[in-house]
């Protein structure tokens, strides 16, 4: 029955046996491990929101396949309104977690593969779309969490996949037989992979004929034979073994990313959604990228809401809450946050219906969302650090804060305004320190595509020739025969 609770989701993870490594040691149980539990808690909220009347309008949808109520993270968008609801859902959950909750990557992969398989079948007379619908129905029914697995390690960025010195630098098909295919390679920066149920593999770039073995899309369980996950080092990751010093102890910072190695992994045909159809690789990549870039005004908007609240709180605890320059910086933070949100709402409202019937955000405006996020998060976080003060970077540890002898000094000398405890000030400082530095910033820069990727798309879709004609017309410049004849026609 659809709609797991957060508790049921966590219990379902215990039934899986993914091979996860960190610092050379295999993690025996994902659930309960301090390094991973905050990310599990964040993802669990995507499940619990569906059961809360206060959030249910955003967190659930009606499946166009079955008519049943499902978690929105397993839904194919059926209208512009649903594209908007997606953004609002992301902001809502981000406000609650202050962190990445990972499930949107698989959500976007579902939508991208849905529409691309439809197009493939229409042109090539394949049967991927019906196969995918069967898979999607199962995903909705079981309410599983999917990791969107697109980014290959890529090696020499100047060479196509088939020209790389090591063919495994992009995931590729090494064997096909009657039962299915075997794939080999790795996917990098895999958000939420270790606490997902399955991954959806997609190619990472447009491909040429010689790269057809790299044109592969399929569903793989995270604990399939041959799959290894090497969890990434991230800023302050050892703080997850602390409490107060972690800042956001329940939900962590960023989504928790890993390198997922695929060593000759078998995939049965019913889970294969692209196998050599290289001419559609670019379309799949672009659709996923747009769907994912659409999100950031929602999720980073929600995270920035928390950062803004933290800045206002620490200013008050510091005794500087009424200063006009503080208020002005808070205004700027809110302005930038709502600008990001505006962009995501706009790209959703300008969404279009694809031949498959699924709705898809404006590609141009989706790239605007992400391009702005690559800059504004740095400024929002900079302003927060400005307001908080340098002590966020020099605070003694929580061990010292709680030390029977030393704690008295830490409490005495880090107290702020009367009415607020030193512990309140300490905790808020740690939240700010962890939310505004290191990995959180890099994720905003590169998640869903690096800045240059958006600029390439903006140049492609910005309709520059039309803009040139507008200027020429207003400047009174006749540029061609058609215009001259039209002008001559008007004179007669």
Is 409 a residue of the active site? no
285-304 positions binding other proteins, by CB under 8 A: 302
Cα–Cα nearest to 341, from 357, 365, 321, 319: 365
Is 218 a residue of the active site? no
Cα–Cα nearest to 75, from 362, 291, 345, 227: 291
Residue with tokens 């955000």: 361
Site membership for other proteins, residue 57 (CB under 8 A): yes
Q: Which residues pair with 268 in a beta bridge?
A: 180
What is the total residue count of the chain?
A: 492
Site membership for other proteins, residue 1 (CB under 8 A): no
Site membership for other proteins, residue 78 (CB under 8 A): no
* Region near other proteins per CB under 8 A, out of 34-42, 52-60, 361-369, 458-466: 52-60
Site membership for other proteins, residue 58 (CB under 8 A): yes
Closer residue to other proteins in complex, CB, 52/485: 52
Torsion angle in degrees (nearest 10) through CA of 297, 298, 302, 307 = -10
Helix (H, G, I), strand (E, B) or coil at 19: coil
Shortest Å, Cβ 52 to other proteins: 9
Kind of pairing, strands 20-22 and 180-191?
Answer: unpaired
Shortest Å, Cβ 344 to other proteins: 11
Give the number of other Cβ atoms within 10 Å of residue 68's Cβ: 14
Shortest Å, Cβ 427 to other proteins: 23
Is 296 a residue of the active site? yes
Shortest Å, Cβ 345 to other proteins: 10
Site membership for other proteins, residue 343 (CB under 8 A): no
Q: Which of 77, 189, 229, 292 is catalytic?
A: 292
* Region near other proteins per CB under 8 A, out of 50-58, 103-111, 282-290, 390-398: 50-58
Give the number of other Cβ atoms within 10 Å of residue 80's Cβ: 18
Shortest Å, Cβ 8 to other proteins: 20
Q: Which residues pair with 359 in a beta bridge?
A: 353
Q: Which of 100, 275, 347, 384 is catalytic?
A: 100
Q: Which of 47, 75, 104, 128 is catalytic?
A: 104
* Residue among 12, 21, 55, 309 that touches other proteins (CB under 8 A): 55
Shortest Å, Cβ 299 to other proteins: 11
Q: Which of 296, 317, 341, 376 is catalytic?
A: 296
Site membership for other proteins, residue 457 (CB under 8 A): no
Residue with tokens 């309410």: 143
Is 275 a residue of the active site? no
Residue with tokens 């007669």: 492
Instruction: Compute CA distances 232 → 188, 189, 226, 256, whole Å.
Output: 10, 8, 19, 7
Site membership for other proteins, residue 54 (CB under 8 A): yes
Is 104 a residue of the active site? yes
Is 290 a residue of the active site? no
Site membership for other proteins, residue 311 (CB under 8 A): no
Q: Distance (Å, rounded) from C-alpha 75 to C-alpha 356?
A: 14
Closer residue to other proteins in complex, CB, 57/127: 57
Query: Is the separation of the CB atoms in 297 and 373 below 8 Å?
Result: yes
Shortest Å, Cβ 72 to other proteins: 10
Per-residue DSSP letter, 101:
-
Shortest Å, Cβ 59 to other proteins: 7
* Residue among 48, 168, 211, 305 that touches other proteins (CB under 8 A): 305
Phi, psi of 267 (to 5 degrees): -130, 120
Q: Can you read off the two tokens belonging to residue 373?
A: 């996020």
Closer residue to other proteins in complex, CB, 48/305: 305
Shortest Å, Cβ 388 to other proteins: 23
Cα–Cα nearest to 200, from 113, 133, 258: 113
Closer residue to other proteins in complex, CB, 54/475: 54
* Region near other proteins per CB under 8 A, out of 54-62, 379-387, 396-404, 478-486: 54-62
Give the number of other Cβ atoms within 10 Å of residue 130's Cβ: 12
Site membership for other proteins, residue 66 (CB under 8 A): no
Q: Which of 82, 198, 277, 443 is catalytic?
A: 443
Q: Which of 82, 257, 277, 316 is catalytic?
A: 257
Residue with tokens 């060479």: 159
Q: Distance (Å, rounded) from C-alpha 462 to C-alpha 34?
A: 46
Q: Can you read off the two tokens belonging to residue 52?
A: 């809360």
Q: Which of 258, 275, 299, 343 is catalytic?
A: 299
Q: Helices 6-14 and 37-48, interaxial angle, to 10°?
A: 130
Closer residue to other proteins in complex, CB, 23/57: 57
Per-residue DSSP letter, 270:
G
x/- contact string, 82-101, with other proteins (CB under 8 A)? --xx--xx-xx--x------
DSSP 106-159: HHHHHHHHHHHHHHHHHHH---HHHHHHHHHHHHHHHT--EEEE-----SSTTS
Site membership for other proteins, residue 20 (CB under 8 A): no
Closer residue to other proteins in complex, CB, 55/266: 55
Site membership for other proteins, residue 346 (CB under 8 A): no
* Residue among 40, 44, 59, 147 that touches other proteins (CB under 8 A): 59
Phi, psi of 476 (to 5 degrees): 75, 25
Torsion angle in degrees (nearest 10) through CA of 324, 328, 329, 331 = 140
**Residues labelled as active-site residues:** 100, 104, 191, 257, 292, 296, 299, 443
Binding residues for other proteins (CB under 8 A): 53-59, 84-85, 88-89, 91-92, 95, 302, 305
């Amino acid at each position: 029955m659809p709609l797991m609770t957060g508790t049921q989701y966590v219990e379902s993870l215990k039934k899986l046996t993914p091979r996860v490594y960190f610092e050379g040691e295999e993690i025996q149980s994902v659930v309960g491990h301090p390094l991973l539990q905050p990310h599990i808690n964040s993802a669990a909220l995507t499940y619990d929101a569906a059961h809360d009347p206060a959030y249910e309008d955003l967190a659930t949808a009606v499946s166009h396949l079955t008519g049943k109520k499902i978690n929105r993270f397993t839904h194919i968008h059926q209208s512009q309104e649903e594209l908007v609801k997606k953004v609002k859902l992301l902001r809502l959950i981000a406000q609650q977690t202050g962190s990445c909750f990972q499930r949107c990557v698989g959500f976007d992969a579902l939508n991208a593969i849905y529409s691309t398989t439809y197009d493939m079948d229409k042109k090539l007379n394949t049967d991927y779309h019906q196969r995918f619908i069967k898979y999607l129905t199962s995903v909705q029914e079981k309410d599983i969490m999917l990791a969107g697995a697109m980014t290959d390690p890529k090696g020499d960025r100047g060479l196509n996949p088939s020209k790389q010195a090591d063919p495994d630098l992009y995931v590729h098909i090494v064997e096909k037989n009657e039962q299915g295919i075997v794939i080999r390679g790795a996917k990098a920066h895999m958000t939420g992979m270790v606490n997902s149920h399955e991954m959806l593999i997609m190619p990472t770039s447009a491909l040429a004929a010689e790269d057809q073995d790299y044109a592969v899309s399929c569903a793989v369980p995270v604990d399939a034979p041959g799959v290894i996950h090497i969890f990434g080092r991230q800023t302050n990751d050892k703080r997850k073994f602390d409490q107060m010093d972690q800042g956001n102890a329940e939900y962590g910072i960023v989504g928790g990313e890993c390198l997922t190695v695929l060593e000759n992994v078998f995939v049965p045909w019913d889970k294969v959604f692209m196998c050599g159809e290289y001419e559609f690789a670019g379309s799949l990549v672009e659709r996923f990228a747009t769907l994912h870039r659409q999100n950031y005004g929602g999720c980073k908007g929600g995270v920035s809401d928390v950062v803004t609240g933290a800045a206002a709180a620490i200013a008050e605890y510091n005794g500087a809450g009424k200063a006009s320059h503080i208020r002005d910086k808070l205004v700027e933070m809110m302005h930038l946050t709502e600008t990001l949100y505006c962009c995501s709402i706009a790209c959703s409202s300008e969404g279009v219906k694809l031949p498959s019937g699924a709705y898809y955000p404006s590609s141009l405006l989706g790239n605007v969302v992400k391009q702005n996020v690559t800059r504004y998060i740095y400024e929002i976080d900079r302003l927060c650090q400005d307001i908080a003060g340098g002590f966020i970077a020099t605070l003694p540890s929580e061990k010292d804060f709680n030390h029977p002898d030393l704690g008295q000094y830490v409490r005495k000398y880090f107290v702020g305004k009367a009415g607020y405890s030193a512990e309140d000030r300490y905790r808020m400082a740690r939240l700010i320190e962890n939310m505004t530095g290191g990995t959180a910033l890099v994720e905003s820069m590169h998640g869903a595509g690096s800045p240059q990727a958006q600029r390439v798309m903006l140049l492609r879709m910005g309709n520059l020739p039309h803009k040139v004609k507008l200027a020429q017309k207003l400047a009174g410049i006749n540029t061609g025969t058609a215009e001259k004849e039209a002008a001559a026609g008007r004179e007669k």
